[in-house]
Amino acid sequence: MLSKHDGALIRQSGPEVLKIEAWGKNGLRIRATALAALDESRDWALLPKGPERAEITVEGESALVRNGDIAARLSPSGRISFLNKAGEVILEERWRNRDVPGATYNSTNVSAREFRPAVGGTYRLAYRFEASEGEKLFGMGQYQDGCLELKGCVLELAQRNSQASVPFLLSSRGYGLLWNNPAIGRASFGKNFTEFSAERSPQLDIWVTAGATPALIEESYASVTGTVPMMPEFAMGFWQCKLRYKTQDELMSVAREYKKRGLPISVIVSDFFHWPMQGDWKFDSRYWPDPEGMVKELAAMGIELMVSIWPTVDKRSENFKEMAEKGLLVRSERGINTTMDFMGDCIFFDATNPKAREFIWAKAKKNYYDKGIKIFWLDEAEPEFSVYDYDNYRYSSGSVLETGNIYPVGYAQAFYEGMVKEGRTDAINLLRCAWAGSQRYGALVWSGDIDTTFESFRNQFAAGLNMGLAGIPWWTTDIGGFGGGDPADPAYRELLVRWFQYGVFCPLFRLHGVRSPGGAKSGGPNEVWSFGDEAYGVIKDPHNYEGFDPAEVGLTRSIVIGKHSGTGGLIERFRSMGISVDRSRAVPLLEMTRAMSCRRKRDLTNCELMGIYLENESLPKAA
């Protein structure tokens, strides 16, 4: 039975309720459940519904729902086909049933929308679509397998260290699809069909758009999931980081040395275990005696201090008892209530709980923000369970099987909303993970604890491009990789130089890693002068960057944000390195690329350039 309600098409067929409605410009949201009614209370990655209303035409048991450049055609049997502005089918559900009119005759009896009962009254869901010959697929977030084109790939929809599930799919057939479900699951892009699945969920929920170009598709997607804040000027410079500076004196000596050598530096990082206990969220005064003085001296040198925040709360922390009593922690469903065993018996704060977000921000504000620290490193953002038994953990939002992938969104939200409340208009923070919608909370994502090899380096190219296409524009890697790398090894020095060439064109220019020898607790030296005179000479010499003019390719701030005509972020990065840039060369490109606004969708300008600089003949080549 078909009906119209509040601008949406509703189909009731047996136990299934199906709803199709306009959501944003050129977008349709499709939800379905086999429960008694749809849950309308959660939009997950989507912003609240706008004023758009679909044009709905009903003819008997068939219907056509149109919103701008996309339409959904519903057959009498319930099969949905998606059409572009020209009326061409760009995506359609996969049904294999000999008894359903309009479906391919097939005795295997496989439905496109599948609800398998699960313990607890929800379902294990699957949603299947026909495969199209020659179709190319991109996006879906960050995976460490080196695949840019995803056809033939099977992806785990789950958050892990160095893996970020951001389930927006961009197709060469002219559509984009958001799997708007934070459940643990899987996406399979086979030659025979495409399938999304969720381990536990009460209903299917997708959003689909169509557009004549990838840029238009991305713009529509960003309009319904949010856009990033403008990158602060200081954040476009060089960030110095290593596994851990043990003391205030050690960190300040590095900052002073950069200035003594005349090297550009915008941010320096106080990484993990600068605190007494995990979950205290404050400096250990034995090693960091004067945070205010440190921040003031760094500011006088033109350097911002970033501090590391972990979501872990040690059971010995001064905050543990209060947080446990107030229900602000993630809990285990069975066994001992421990979520991470690292330098202590720890439980994560529950980033899906609004009260927990308020609690952690209050501590960070008092102990960091009020002391002048205006940018945070929100580490362990997946979060990184010691054992990834997703069925054994529960958030305020629901079981991790059902809602687990949304954790990094709440983590970013806690600090972003706190900083905005304090008057920041360009709040960004570094995170190790993301999900769809993270970008609207100023999430600047890096690719996690990756290997220090050329193979790992190559994987980051695909990871970064697909993150950009999945709507996460502010993204980067650890220059040099994270796990290992001997500064005295000639082979590693070559890798580091190559990674610097790449890093200078990433949205964030940041050196980080645990170098060896040096121990797992603090790591070896990781400053630009730590890798021998030859590598240092290449890294610091501005002439080695002159073969590629950011103005020539339009990387001015005018183009990056689409409507501001101020200083170009990457131009300033180059100028801080002593490189002359001719801004006038960017003017013609400005008018051509003004639509490439990250505030309206995503920034691919940097991503599209990743790797180009490796062809510069003035630098040594890899063997």
Active-site amino acid positions:
379, 382, 449
Rounded CA separation 508/445 (Å): 9
> Can you read off the two tokens belonging to residue 31?
């939800």
Q: Which regions of 223-344 does DSSP assign to beta strands (E)?
A: 238-240, 267-270, 304-309, 312-314, 331-332, 340-341
340-341 and 398-399 strand pairing: unpaired
Q: How many CB atoms lie under 10 A from the CB of residue 424?
A: 17
Using an 8 Å Cβ cutoff, are 376 and 368 in contact? yes
Rounded CA separation 548/430 (Å): 27
Rounded CA separation 554/535 (Å): 29
Q: Which regions of 320-371 does DSSP assign to beta strands (E)?
A: 331-332, 340-341, 345-348
Beta bridge partners of 510: 239
Residues 6+ apart with CB under 8 A from 314: 277, 278, 279, 320, 344, 345, 346
Tally helices (H) and strands (E) across the chain: 13, 32
Using an 8 Å Cβ cutoff, are 463 and 142 in contact? yes
Nearest-5° Cα angle at 403, 440 to 127? 95
Q: 579, exposed or middle or buried, with CB in 10 Å at 0-12, 13-18, 19+?
A: middle
Rounded CA separation 69/90 (Å): 12
Using an 8 Å Cβ cutoff, are 93 and 81 in contact? yes
Strands across the sheet containing 89-92: 55-59, 62-67, 70-74, 80-83, 89-92
Residue indicated by tokens 């709905």:
56
Helix H, strand E, coil C: the string for 368-388 is CHHHCCCEEEECCCCCCCCCC
Rounded CA separation 489/534 (Å): 12
- The helix or strand, by DSSP H or E, that contains position 16, with its residue range, turns out to be strand 16-22
DSSP of 68-119, one letter per residue? TTEEEEE-TT--EEEE-TTS-EEEEB--B-SSSTTSBP-TT-B-SEEEEE-T
